[in-house]
């Protein structure tokens, strides 16, 4: 593991590392903010998953989260969104291939060789973080857009690992919207029965464990009606009596201006479950 950035921030350190991923079979980067803490103190972790076209830089440079992570004494880890490199399969479109891993384990060629972002986030990256940084191995997960989809799916499928889930503008029902249909067909194949493992709405329908979930969605989001459809999540949670908090934020769009406006709320939400 190689450190490639280190910046003092609110008494702590914003760092970026590069490492070889055995799961993805390529070099990967992740960002980590470590708040000020005592020498032997162990801290909880919040994982942030970014959306389409993003990498490990978007969140750490635009969300303004370091201040609130320092105040609440939580580590925040922000990985890249897909495998990267000249030998890694890609697509000319922004919503498939590099920068668009969708946090699934691909089963279809040519993607299945490298696109195992689900396993990378849940297993490999978490092990790296716990082995190299002052964590207490207690974590929650959050994300934005396609990363919000990833956070919901990973959290819902692993209630024994994550304490809470939150998302900004998530793709809640990827099996029912163009972004998800395109990515799932490419990565998982045409059998839609296999898509349900990566669809938050379908996972909630079959869930026996109720996890705390916070979702913020902007009313002026240009992707709201075609790609995000939070009403589908609201409906299924109502039917299943599932405890989700869905905030429709009047006037806000899909950008990091929106995320920066409410990131403090999300960090405090997770902290309430991470620190008992």
> 197 burial class (0-12, 13-18, 19+ CB within 10 angstroms)?
middle
Neighbours of 130 (CB within 10 A): 15
Give, as one character, the DSSP assignment of residue 223: T
Active site residue 254: yes
Is residue 145 annotated as part of the catalytic site, yes or no? Answer: yes
Q: Identify the active-site residue in 145, 164, 166, 169.
A: 145
From 144, 149, 254, 270, the catalytic residue: 254
How far separated are the first and last CA of the chain, in Å rounded?
A: 32
Q: Write out the two tokens for 56.
A: 């490990």
> Pick the catalytic residue: 80, 95, 221, 270?
221
Residues 107, 87: Cα–Cα separation, whole Å: 18
Q: Do 261 and 215 meet the contact criterion of CB atoms below 8 Å apart? A: no
DSSP 96: S
* Residues recognised as catalytic: 145, 221, 254
């Amino acid at each position: 593991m190689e450190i490639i950035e280190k910046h003092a921030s609110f008494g702590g350190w914003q760092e970026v590392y590069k490492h070889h991923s055995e799961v993805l079979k390529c070099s990967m980067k992740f960002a980590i903010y470590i708040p000020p803490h005592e020498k032997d103190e162990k801290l909880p972790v919040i994982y942030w998953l970014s959306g389409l076209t993003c990498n490990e830089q978007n969140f750490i440079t635009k969300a303004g989260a370091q201040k609130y992570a320092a105040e609440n004494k939580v580590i925040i880890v922000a990985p890249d969104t897909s495998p990267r490199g000249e030998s890694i399969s890609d697509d000319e479109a922004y919503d498939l291939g590099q920068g668009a891993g969708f946090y699934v384990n691909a089963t279809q060629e040519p993607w299945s060789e490298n696109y195992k972002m689900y396993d990378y986030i849940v297993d490999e990256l978490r092990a790296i973080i716990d082995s190299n940084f002052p964590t207490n191995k207690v974590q929650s997960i959050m994300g934005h857009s396609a990363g919000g989809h990833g956070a919901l799916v990973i959290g819902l499928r692993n209630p024994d690992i994550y304490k809470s889930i939150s998302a900004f503008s998530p793709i809640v029902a990827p099996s029912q919207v163009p972004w998800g249909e395109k990515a799932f067909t490419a990565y998982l194949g045409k059998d839609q029965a296999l898509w349900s493992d990566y669809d938050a709405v379908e996972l909630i329908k079959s869930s026996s464990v109720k996890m705390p979930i916070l979702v913020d969605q902007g009313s002026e989001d240009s992707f709201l009606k075609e790609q995000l459809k939070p009403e589908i999540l609201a409906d299924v949670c109502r039917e299943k009596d599932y405890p989700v908090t869905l905030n429709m934020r009047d006037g806000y769009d899909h950008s990091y201006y929106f995320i920066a406006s409410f990131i403090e709320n999300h960090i405090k939400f997770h902290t309430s479950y991470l620190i008992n």
